[in-house]
Amino acid sequence: MSFFDFIQKFLYKDKEKTSATAKQRLHVVLQHDRNPLPPQLVAMLNKDVLNTISKYFVVDDKEIETVVDQKLNTLHVNIPILKFKSIKEIEIKKEEIKKEPAPVSPKTSPIQDKKPEPIERAKEEKKEEKPAVKKSIKLDDHLKPDAVKKEENVISRIGENIVQTAENIQSGVKEGIQKIKDDKVIEKIGENLAQTAENIQSGIKQEIQKVKDEKVVEKIGATISAKIDDIHKEFENERDKLKKDKTIEKIGENIAQTAENIQSGIKEGIQKIKDDKVIEKIGENIAQTAEHIHSEVKEGIQKIKDDKVIEKIGENIADKVESIQKEVKQEVQNLSNTIQTKKGKKKKNKKQKNIQNQSQSGQQSQPVQQEQKPEKPNQ
């Protein structure tokens, strides 16, 4: 920078360099203008190009870059080559492709065709794994099929990794062999090869260890899930039992309620008798109510019979029935006393007859309750 440039810079304080912005913006916009290929076409092209190129080179398929240079009327496809393949490799692949004309995908099938030894080993390992996995799966197969699928996926992935490792090893060995062929200093190469082989071996071992670890984990998981299932079943049984207990309780409560209702009904009836002069009908009502109670109690008892925890409820019921009975007796006694006092006062024949009927109906309710007592010990 000269002295005058410095003075100029000093004088022109507006330091914003818009030319740089203009240049940058132009670069961006022109890059877009110049590439006439739609992205879908680029993707298709990249796929086809990769399929072809990968027959001859090991390439990094993620770094592919496709640009059309309009100025030179040329297509630029940049693919980083990771490895060069030897002619023998390519020829072998071609032959195998000819033999098997319908590969699943052009990328994977030639690679799978290559391997002779290590992949077979990997396959054997796979075979060993799968039955073991299935055993562990069987335990919770009907319980958790999704989990099983996931596990299968994991295992297949591990298997793929092993296969991949084996493939890598294979290609490494091939490379090593190729080098040996081309090179006169074989010893060093042999050592390298041995080293590579060892590396491969340890890699495979690691993968196998991973698989084993996975299997152990799987088994533990299966046993845990089985145990959980057992606990679940036990819990369900307990819950069912509890539910039954609750039904018995409810029945007992219903019976008690019914008994209480009866009691209050009887009390009401007695009250009515006390207040009403037409006692006959009331006596009949009482008899009817008593019959209802009787049948309801029978039903309740029938329900209790079905249950195993009947004894306690039955005893409770019996106690309650006894107390009801006592109360009824008391009430009937009171009633008869009052009636006798009334009879003594009014001395009317009609009323005497009615009272006799009433006392009979009051006695009718006693045998109903007496019938219950012999039934309880049977249960």
Partner 1 sequence: MGKVIVITSGKGGVGKTTATANLGSAIASLGKSVVLIDADIGLRNLDLVMGLENRIVFNVVDVVEKKCRTFKQALIKDKRFNNLFVLPAAQSREKDAITPVQMKELCDEIKQEFDYVFIDCPAGIEHGFKNAIVGADDAIIVTNPEVSAVRDADRIIGLLESNEKFNFNLIINRLKPEMVKRGKMLSIKDVKEVLNIELIGVVPEDDRIINSSNKGEPAVLDGSSKAGQAYISIAKRILDPKDKFVVFEEDKGWLNKLKNIFSRGN
CB atoms closer than 10 angstroms to residue 79: 18
DSSP string, 138-184: HHHHTT-HHHHHHHHHHHHHHHHHHHHHHHHHHHHHHHHHHHHHH-S
Output 2 or 349, the one with its CB closest to partner 1: 2
- Phi (first) and psi of residue 185, to 5 degrees: -85, 80
Provide, rounded to whole angstroms, the least separation between the CB of residue 26 and partner 1: 5
Output 36 or 39, the one with its CB closest to partner 1: 36
When asked if residue 70 is in the footprint of partner 1 (CB under 8 A), the reply is yes
Q: Cβ contacts of residue 332 below 8 Å, gap of 6+?
A: 270, 359, 362, 363, 365
Among 71, 98, 99, 345, binds partner 1 (CB under 8 A): 71
Asked if 93 and 110 count as a contact pair (C-beta separation under 8 A), the reply is yes
Among 38, 39, 62, 73, binds partner 1 (CB under 8 A): 73
Provide, rounded to whole angstroms, the least separation between the CB of residue 22 and partner 1: 5
Output 1 or 104, the one with its CB closest to partner 1: 1
The tally of CA atoms less than 13 A away on the side-chain side of residue 159 is: 18
Provide, rounded to whole angstroms, the least separation between the CB of residue 1 and partner 1: 11
CA distance 62 to 120: 29
Asked if 133 and 215 count as a contact pair (C-beta separation under 8 A), the reply is yes
Provide, rounded to whole angstroms, the least separation between the CB of residue 80 and partner 1: 25
CA distance 120 to 285: 95
Output 7 or 75, the one with its CB closest to partner 1: 7
Which residues between 4 and 43 bind partner 1 (CB under 8 A)? 4-5, 7-8, 11-12, 14-20, 22-23, 25-27, 29-30, 33-34
When asked if residue 2 is in the footprint of partner 1 (CB under 8 A), the reply is yes
Provide, rounded to whole angstroms, the least separation between the CB of residue 18 and partner 1: 6
Binding site for partner 1 (CB under 8 A): 2, 4-5, 7-8, 11-12, 14-20, 22-23, 25-27, 29-30, 33-34, 70-73
